[in-house]
Structure 1
Amino acid sequence: MATVLVVDDTLTEIEIITKTLQAAGFSTITANSSEVAKLKINEQRPDAIVLDIVLPGESGFELCRELKDDPATSTIPVILCSTKDSEMDKFWGLKQGAASYLTKPIVGEDLVRTMQALVK
């Protein structure tokens, strides 16, 4: 069973995303900031990460870029999730190394389909 780290500062979003992924057979761990996410990544290397962009402290864009620059975490697929839905936001997210960019509110089927494609 693949493990997905869900990083979001909104409890409701964490709940929606984790329940959607768990129903599809994924195991989940959660973090409410980039700092907590880094600790969780070091403790238990996830198979994929669902990452909000607007977070307290370091943004999801910054965390994604750090993960992709580090050889130890560069192969972990990152799905950015945000209410930011302009083409420039999506372009910038993919430029940071994200494997995919989904807009909120999350459509469960899109999230599961994307995750299944990235975690084989």
Structure 2
Amino acid sequence: MFSLTMTMMVSIALPMIMMTLAITIAKKNISDREKSSPFECGFNPQTHARLPFSIQFFLISMLFLIFDIEIALILPLIPIMKTSSIKFWWISTSTFIVILLVGIYYEWNQGMLNWAI
């Protein structure tokens, strides 16, 4: 019973001591206006909070992320070929690549890949 009580007291006291030390050590004594102001990528937040950006650039970056993830899904198909049936592997790989090609054709057909409009 004594060891259980002692363990509980240490389990409560040790984190409390560590939190008190962290708060004491982390106190900032010097308050500078420049250091306490928010910093966003070098822009002054007091002048323009939102700077306009190209929506076309945003779409291209989203397409890059989507196809980058799909490439990550294609990479494991090579080692899987050794352990699975070649017919099942060929059908699943071909289906996946056809879906990718249909998606890129649709984006191209909609004009999403044209940089200058």
TM-score by length of 1: 0.20
Larger Rg: 2
Q: Give the TM-score taking structure 2 as reference length.
A: 0.21
Which is richer in strand?
A: 1
